[in-house]
Amino acid sequence: MPALELSSLSKSFHTVAALKDVTLTVEDREFLVILGPSGCGKTTLLRCIAGLEYPDAGEIHIGDRCAYSARSGTALSPRERSIGMVFQNYALYPHMSVWENVAFGLRMRKTGKGELGERVARALQMVDLEGFEKRSPKTLSGGQRQRVALARTLVTEPSVLLFDEPLSNLDPKLRVGLRSQLKQIHEQTGATSVFVTHDQNEAMILGDRVAVIQNGTIAQVDEPRRLYHYPVNVDVAIFTGNPHTNVITGQIHQSDERVLLIPDSDPYCFLPLPDVFRPHAGASVTVCCRPEDVELVADPADDEGRLEVIAFNPEAGRAVVHLRLGNDPRQVLAVSSTRELKHIKRTANAGIRIIRGNLYTGETGFLLGSFGQPAIPQRVHRQIRQ
């Protein structure tokens, strides 16, 4: 049975529709990440699950219990839901010690002294804070405070853990450290988790699956690799780019030998496409491809398009090359071997070959087809780590 089921949830604040018809299932022991830009409805969704906010429509099931149903009028209070939540700002009780902060939830539940002591010790051990029991939150760093907040939530053993951007107030080094610690804790406890972030890196590393939310709607739910290689629409492709996704709009043109993209921003810069797109000749499309999917060609054939080289960014054994395509303000990024780079000068022209990519209908449309992408079988039964 799924740990959490959301069916057709909608929630508006006056005229702002924060959630629109959100349907999502979280499996038992799964780590599901909700990824989306600021203001897209992530916090509202978590608050609805926790019972801090009531949706206008839809249903929420936690395990085998109905926690909310607009239709039947069921609305469990936050206390009745067995949900733990960790927020962006670590809301610790400032006048209590670390130990007391972590013990607080169990005290409220009147847990016996012996069990309480054991569980607090175990939670502090999980977040690596043994020896900090007597410290006051004031004397801790941001990362340590967030670990206390995590221990305080873990100790109550909720059936679902909710995280609202818990790492985004930390400096980058701490963030990476705590991220791996979270992953370890999840492997140890197997606690079903819903983790909200606007950081696609964090999402890809932590998530068993990632749900991308745009303007209050779930655009795609997939495991990270599938999300990266087969984004369902142009916005998801752009949002999952790390750090950049090439977006080229144009029209498909066919000749006897070739299928070409004629870019809107430079109709003389033909870009070859695989033959499978021949049936779409005449269609307006958007091609999205990651920089590593585009190869730079120092000396392209006469009938291939050329782009202006505007900058190089050398990395280990290769370089990322920034190119201008006609009057398009978006740069095209391609990779080049350092050997090939020797033949290329800034402000000179070079060709590109798109070896992997996805084609979408029109300017902002939906996935029409993919080429060169790895085959990623869709799992029928999800394999959850035991």
Which parts of this chain interact with ligand ADP (CB under 6 A)?
13, 16, 18, 36, 38-44
Whole-angstrom distance, CA of residue 3 vs CA of residue 262: 49
Q: Are 221 and 239 in contact (CB under 8 A)?
A: no
Whole-angstrom distance, CA of residue 327 vs CA of residue 55: 46
The least distance separating ligand ADP from the CB of residue 47, rounded to whole angstroms, comes to: 8
- Judged by the rule CB under 5 A, the positions of this chain that interact with Mg ion are 43
Cis peptide bond upstream of 37, omega within 30? no
Nearer Cβ to ligand ADP (38/72)? 38
Nearer Cβ to ligand ADP (197/245)? 197
Whole-angstrom distance, CA of residue 220 vs CA of residue 233: 9
The least distance separating ligand ADP from the CB of residue 18, rounded to whole angstroms, comes to: 4
Q: Give the single-character DSSP code of 346.
A: T
Whole-angstrom distance, CA of residue 9 vs CA of residue 24: 9
Q: Which two tokens stand for residue 116?
A: 């309480």
The least distance separating ligand ADP from the CB of residue 90, rounded to whole angstroms, comes to: 17
The least distance separating Mg ion from the CB of residue 88, rounded to whole angstroms, comes to: 7
Q: Select from ligand ADP, Mg ion, none the partner in contact with residue 41, using the beta carbon and a kind-dependent cut-off of 5 to 8 Å.
A: ligand ADP
Whole-angstrom distance, CA of residue 262 vs CA of residue 302: 16
The least distance separating ligand ADP from the CB of residue 146, rounded to whole angstroms, comes to: 18
The least distance separating ligand ADP from the CB of residue 49, rounded to whole angstroms, comes to: 12
Cα–Cα distance list, 338 to 237, 240, 313 (Å): 28, 27, 11
| Pairing relationship of beta strands 357-361 and 367-371 according to DSSP bridges | antiparallel
Instruction: Starting at the earlier edge strand, list the strands of the sheet with 65-69.
Output: 16-26, 4-13, 57-62, 65-69, 74-75
The least distance separating ligand ADP from the CB of residue 143, rounded to whole angstroms, comes to: 22
Q: Which two tokens stand for residue 130?
A: 């043994």
Q: Select from ligand ADP, Mg ion, none the partner in contact with residue 267, using the beta carbon and a kind-dependent cut-off of 5 to 8 Å.
A: none
Angle at 273 between CA 272 and CA 276, to 5 degrees: 145
Nearer Cβ to ligand ADP (216/357)? 216
Q: Are 248 and 286 in contact (CB under 8 A)?
A: yes
